[in-house]
């Protein structure tokens, strides 16, 4: 019996907590399972399992060994998939999660273009602003803006997101156009309260570097949704800061006016995030390459 077979037998026993159940799963007899485990313990010189007539459980050494066995077997499986998948046309399903507004506005167009190149790949797209645990919930990728602190994940930068301070011509006609950033205290602001990735607190960031007090700014509308602030801005309700992927096309059409173009608001990084220890299949590599190239030109 190879060492890989011994590890597979051991991990199956630990998961099933029973020699008979493990034997059924592996297609061998319970006595064969018992013999393999005893041989493994003898070779290692340590007891791995506590045995009773009804079930088995790991010793302290056995639990530590089990954790390493899982990683080793997964690495073997990934190596096999890598070779099998080496020269195969990308196909299958990708599970992706993205921020709600970004996903609604950008991903349908991007996935349609991707599907034209890779027609054998399908998608399950989950849109949410809650922090999705992509490892626990089985997603292949997350598209997120900002820093990535989870050590289980890799974040590959795919684009930069800039912010544009905008108002509609209707608003400017009624309230006048602010000529400098300091003039903002004379205007009505639309504030997005919870969208940190869209620089909701951009006013506070510039309070120290410009001669105005944030408390003097009239917050005409405070909302927790970018789309609502964007619609209110289009209707002439006030000035707001919007991600470029929302504002840019409306600025080009004349529906919005880009204000304070000489004021530099820091950009954010758009990342494609994926599990660190997960094998990247052909379909995943195709998606990662495509999204990097696509947003480099369009965001």
Ordered structural domains, the chain, with CATH: 3-84 (1.10.10.10), 92-160+268-298 (3.40.190.10), 163-259 (3.40.190.10)
Which 8-state DSSP code applies to residue 161?
E
Name the residue with higher pLDDT: 161 or 121: 121
> Taking residues 144-155, what's their average pLDDT?
78
* Report for 37-46, 93-102, 219-228: range of highest mean pLDDT: 37-46
Of the listed ranges 108-122, 125-139, 167-181, the least confidently predicted one is 125-139
Residues in the chain, how many?
Answer: 299
pLDDT at 197 over 50: no
CA 146 to chain centre: 10
Lowest mean pLDDT segment, chosen from 63-72, 90-99, 103-112:
103-112
Q: What is the CA 51 to chain-centroid distance, rounded?
A: 43
Burial class (CB in 10 A: 0-12, 13-18, 19+), 247: buried
230 within 8 A of 246, measured Cβ to Cβ: yes
Judged by average pLDDT, the poorest of 35-39, 63-67, 156-160 is 156-160
Give the Cα separation of 266 and 185 in Å (integer). 21
Rounded average pLDDT over 11-30: 90
The per-residue pLDDT for range 209-258, each reduced to its tens digit, is 666 666 666 778 787 778 888 899 999 999 998 888 888 889 999 999 99
In terms of DSSP H, where are the helices of the chain? 3-16, 19-26, 30-44, 60-84, 100-102, 108-117, 169-175, 202-207, 226-234, 244-253, 282-298
Q: What DSSP state is assigned to residue 267? A: P
> Rounded CA gap, 134 and 97, in Å?
8
What distance lies between CA 163 and its chain's CA centroid?
21
- Give the model's pLDDT for residue 278: 63
Query: Residue holding tokens 């907590």?
Result: 17
Alpha-carbon dihedral angle through residues 30, 32, 38, 43, given to the nearest 10 degrees: -150
* Cα distance between residue 252 and residue 84, in whole Å: 48
How many whole angstroms separate alpha carbon 49 and alpha carbon 62?
6
Tokens read off for 16 = 């099933």
Q: Is the CB of residue 39 less than 8 Å from the CB of residue 54? A: no
Of the two residues 39 and 244, the one the predictor is more confident about is 39
Give which of 136, 123, 115 is closest to 94, Cα–Cα. 123
Q: Which of 19-23, 99-103, 147-151 has the lowest mean pLDDT?
A: 147-151
Instruction: Output the pTM of the full model.
Output: 0.59
Average pLDDT score over the chain: 83
What is the per-residue pLDDT for 192? 79
Tens digits of residue pLDDT in 43-92: 999 999 998 877 789 999 999 999 888 888 877 777 776 666 655 778 88
Q: Which of 71-85, 127-141, 191-205, 251-265 has the highest mean pLDDT?
A: 251-265
Residue 296, pLDDT above cutoff 60: yes
Does residue 165 have a pLDDT over 70? yes
């Amino acid at each position: 019996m190879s060492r890989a077979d011994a590890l597979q037998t051991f991990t199956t026993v630990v998961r099933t907590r029973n020699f008979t159940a493990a034997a059924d799963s592996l297609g061998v007899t319970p006595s064969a399972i018992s013999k393999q485990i005893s041989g493994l313990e003898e070779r290692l010189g340590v007891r791995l399992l506590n045995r009773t007539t009804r079930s088995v459980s790991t010793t302290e050494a056995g639990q530590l060994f089990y954790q390493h066995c899982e990683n080793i077997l997964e690495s073997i499986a990934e190596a096999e998939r890598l070779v099998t998948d080496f020269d195969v046309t990308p196909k299958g399903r990708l599970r992706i999660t993205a921020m709600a507004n970004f996903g609604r506005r950008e991903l349908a167009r991007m996935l349609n273009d991707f599907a034209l190149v890779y027609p054998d790949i399908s998608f399950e797209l989950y849109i949410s602003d809650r922090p999705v645990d992509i490892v626990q919930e089985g997603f292949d990728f997350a598209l997120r803006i900002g820093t990535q602190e989870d050590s289980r994940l890799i974040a590959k930068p795919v684009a930069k997101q800039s912010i544009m301070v905008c108002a509609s011509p209707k608003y400017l006609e009624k309230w006048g156009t602010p000529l400098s950033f300091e003039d903002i205290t004379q205007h009505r602001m639309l504030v997005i309260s919870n969208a940190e990735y869209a620089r909701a607190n951009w006013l506070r960031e510039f309070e120290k570097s410009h001669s105005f007090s944030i408390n003097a700014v009239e917050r005409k509308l405070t909302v927790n949704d970018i789309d609502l602030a964007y619609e209110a801005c289009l209707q002439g309700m006030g000035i707001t800061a919007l991600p470029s992927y929302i504002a840019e096309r409306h600025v080009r059409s004349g529906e919005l006016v880009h204000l304070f173009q000489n004021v530099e608001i820091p950009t954010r990084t758009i990342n494609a995030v994926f599990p660190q220890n997960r094998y990247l299949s052909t379909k995943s590599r195709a998606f990662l390459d495509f999204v990097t190239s696509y947003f480099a030109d369009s965001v």
